[in-house]
Amino acid sequence: MRLGSALVVGAALACGVATMPSASAQVGSDVGDVGVAVARQVCEQLWLEGVCEAVGHPDPAYRSEEDPSTGPLELRIGAVHEHSGYSDGDPDTRPADYFRAGREGRNEHRDGRDTGVAVDFVLGSEHSDNEKLPVTTAKVCIDLSSVSDGLATLDLEAILPPLRCSNVEHADHYRKWAEALAQAIEATEVDEDGHHVGFTAMRGFEWTNDYYNHLGVYFSRNVVNAKLDGSYLSMDVMWDWLRRPPERGGGADALVVFNHPGGNPALTPFDGDLPHNVLLQELLGGANWDDVAYVPDVDDRVIGIEVNRGDDLAWYVRALTSGWHLGPVAAEDEHERAWSSSEDGKTLVLTRGRSPRDYYHAFHQRRTIALGADLVGGAPGERATFPQLHYWAGAPDRQDPAATPLGGIVDAARTTLRLDLDGLPEGSPVVLVTNAAPEPIALGVVDGSGRLTATHEATAHETEERWWFAVVCPPGTADCGTGESYSAVTAPIWLRPTPIGDEVVDGIPPAGAGAASAASGASAVEAPGPAARGAQPAGEDAAGLAVTAAAHTEAARLPATGGAPLLVLGAVLLVAAGGTWVLRRPA
C-alpha cells in the first residue's frame, strides 16, 4: 500500500513537471517550484510517511497554549481577512502590500482616496483554491470589454483577458503559502533584541467551500483546498483536517473563523444568487456549515465568527446557542487596494504582547471585539483611533489575576459581569445579550463624557452553560441587541453550572454555600423588571433566546442537513472543482 501510494505521488510529480513550461521560459522560477507544488497538492489529500515530509511546510511557530507575555492586558486593533493577487485580489499585488498598508496606514481606495489608518496587526486570508496555481482569479481577469479593441489591434492579452493575470513567470506564485509567511515576517516590526515592538503581520487562508460557506483559517502550518479535498460532500472532511496533527499535514494548530454567515448553498463561486440555490437548501440543506451545527471535538479550534453588519448578530447568537465558544471578528474582506481602511470595521484583540504568539493565544482565548466602522477613526498615515471597551468578570480590577477577561469561562454559581466603556458617542445604548433571559438586558446609555460603567450579577443554571456578551448600538437605536444596527459586539463570558453543594462565587467558595440558583441575575444600572425575569435554559428553545427571538432571525433560519444523495453531491464536487480556474465572486 505504501509503495503504491508513493508511486502515485511520483507519477503526479513527474506529470506536473512535464506539463509545465521549461525553466528557461519562466523568468525567476524553475521546474523545482512546479514539482514541489504538485507533490504538496497530492500530500494534502493523502499523507504518506517517508514521502510527504520532504515537501512539508515548516512550523511557523505561531502556536502558544500558554500566555507568552506577562504585561498588562491591552486592546489592540487590527485588520482581518485580506486578499491580494495571490488569490482573487488586485492582480498586481501581493500580501506584502496589505501588510504595508496596515503598518503605514496608507491605501488606495477604488475612488482614488486614501482611507488608510495604521493598525497593530493584519491577518491575511488568501483563498486556497489557487494557492499552488500561478494565476490570479480577480474580476478584471475575465473582463470581456477589451476583446473588441484587442481584435482590432491584435493584442493577445486584450483578446484573452485571463492572460493578463497569468503569473507563470513569477516563482513566488508557485509557493504562495511559504511566500505569504516570509512577507509577514518581513513586515513585522522587531527591535535588535528580537522583541516585537510595533506592527505584526500574520498569515492565514480562506477555505472556500461555496456549498457550506467559507472559513477563515489562521495561524496554521498547513493549507488545504476546498475544491479538491472532497469537502463539498460533507463538512466532516474539514473537521477531520482540524483533528489531524500538523506534522501529518493537518490543521490541529489552526484557529478557525466562520466567514460572512448567511445565504444559500452554491455549486460554484459565482452562482450564489440564482433560484436553484434556494432549491438546494430546501432539498439537501447544509448551508452555513450545516446551520452552524456544533461539533464538540473541534470546538477548541473554531474560535470566531464574522460579525460585520445586519443579521450577522443573529448568526452569532445561533452559533453560541448551538454550543460553539466563539468571539466576534470584524472583517475587511478587501479585494482591491483599500486595506486597513478607516471605512471598514476592525477587530479588537486583548493581548499582553505584540508577537504572533501573543495574538495566537488571545484569539484562541476568544478575547475579541467586533468594532464597526462608525467607531474607527484616524487620518491616513496616522494611528487608528478607537474607544476603550473593557468587559470582564469577577474582581473589580480587570488586571487582577482573579478576573476573567471577555472570552473566558467562569466555573461558579454566580459572578459579577463588569463593563467599563470610554470614548463612545453620547447616547449610545448598551445591552447584554444572553441565553439566560428572553430579551437583551439594558445596561444604560453612554453619558456626555463618552463613558458608561455598569455591572450585572450573573447566576449559573443547574445544568446548562450560560453566556453573556455586550452590544453597543448607535445613539437612538430602539432595538439594540435584537435589530441589525450595532456598533460594537464583544466576546461572551460563559458561566458553567457547579454541582449542588459545591457552589463558588467568582471561583471562591463562600461560607455556607448552597445550591446554584436558576435566576438570571440583575444589573446595577438596569430597571427593576429584568432582575426578576425567570431563566430560560440554553438549548430548550433557541427561537426564544435573546436575539433569536427577533423576526429577522426566524427569516434566516435554515433546515438542518440530512443524508444527502451522493450522486447529487458528487455532481456538486465536480462542478465546484472547475471554479479553481474561473472568477470567484468576492467573498
Q: Which tens digits make up the pLDDT trace of 376-403?
A: 999 999 999 999 999 999 999 999 999 9
SS3 86: coil
Whether the per-residue pLDDT at 128 is higher than 70: the answer is yes
The contacts of residue 53 (CB under 8 Å, 6+ apart) are none
SS3 90: coil
Please tell me the predicted confidence (pLDDT) of residue 525: 52
Residue 277 lies in a domain: no
Please list the alpha-helical segments (H only) found in 144-285.
147-153, 156-159, 176-187, 236-243, 275-283
Please tell me the predicted confidence (pLDDT) of residue 166: 84
Cell numbers 454567515 correspond to 261
Q: Which residues of 73-91 are buried (b: 16+ CB within 10 A; e: fewer)?
A: bebbbbbbbbbbbbbbbbb
Question: How does DSSP classify residue 132?
Answer: T
Please tell me the predicted confidence (pLDDT) of residue 394: 98
Q: Mean pLDDT for the chain?
A: 82
Q: Which tens digits make up the pLDDT trace of 239-250?
A: 999 999 999 999
Per-residue pLDDT, averaged over 80-108, amounts to 97
Q: Is the pTM of this model over 0.85?
A: no
Last residue of a domain, one of 55, 75, 93: 55
- The residue among 482, 345, 320, 486 whose CA lies nearest residue 407 is 320
pLDDT band at 502 (very low <50, low <70, confident <90, very high): low
Per-residue pLDDT, averaged over 557-582, amounts to 37
Residue 353 lies in a domain: no
Cell numbers given for 201: 503581520
Residue 231 lies in a domain: no
SS3 215: strand
CB 287 within 8 A of CB 213: yes
Percent of the chain scoring above 90 in pLDDT: 64
The contacts of residue 319 (CB under 8 Å, 6+ apart) are 258, 261, 292, 305, 326
Q: Which tens digits make up the pLDDT trace of 511-557?
A: 433 333 333 466 665 333 333 323 333 333 333 334 333 333 333 33
What is the CB neighbour count within 10 angstroms for residue 539? 14
For residue 489, the enclosing domain spans: 387-550
Whether the per-residue pLDDT at 578 is higher than 50: the answer is no
Residue 455 lies in a domain: yes
CA gap 352, 544 in Å, rounded: 38
Whether the per-residue pLDDT at 84 is higher than 50: the answer is yes
pLDDT band at 34 (very low <50, low <70, confident <90, very high): confident
Q: Which tens digits make up the pLDDT trace of 137-190?
A: 888 887 666 556 666 676 666 656 666 788 888 889 989 999 999 999 999 999
Q: Residues, the chain, total?
A: 587
In angstroms, the Cα distances linking 176 to 63, 123, 127 are: 21, 15, 11
Strand partners, 383: 118
Higher pLDDT, 256 or 14: 256
In angstroms, the Cα distances linking 319 to 137, 300, 306 are: 32, 14, 11
Cell numbers 474607527 correspond to 376
The separation between CA 456 and the C-alpha centre of its own chain, rounded to angstroms, equals 29
Residue 242 lies in a domain: no
Per-residue pLDDT, averaged over 83-88, amounts to 96
CA gap 553, 63 in Å, rounded: 36
Per-residue pLDDT, averaged over 66-90, amounts to 96
Please tell me the predicted confidence (pLDDT) of residue 30: 56
Please tell me the predicted confidence (pLDDT) of residue 359: 98
Query: What angle in degrees, to the nearest 10, is found between the helix axes of 2-18 and 31-45?
Result: 140
Please tell me the predicted confidence (pLDDT) of residue 558: 31
Whether the per-residue pLDDT at 464 is higher than 90: the answer is yes
Residue 288 lies in a domain: no
Please tell me the predicted confidence (pLDDT) of residue 541: 37
Residue 533 lies in a domain: yes
Please tell me the predicted confidence (pLDDT) of residue 39: 84
> CA triplet 128, 343, 111: central angle to 5 degrees?
85
Q: Which tens digits make up the pLDDT trace of 265-290?
A: 887 777 767 788 888 888 888 999 99
Number of domains in the chain: 2
CA gap 541, 193 in Å, rounded: 55
Strand partners, 305: 258, 328
Whether the per-residue pLDDT at 31 is higher than 50: the answer is yes
The contacts of residue 90 (CB under 8 Å, 6+ apart) are 84, 138, 335, 336, 337
Strand partners, 453: 420
Whether the per-residue pLDDT at 421 is higher than 50: the answer is yes
Instruction: Indicate the residue type of 453.
Output: T
Residue 514 lies in a domain: yes
Per-residue pLDDT, averaged over 343-369, amounts to 98
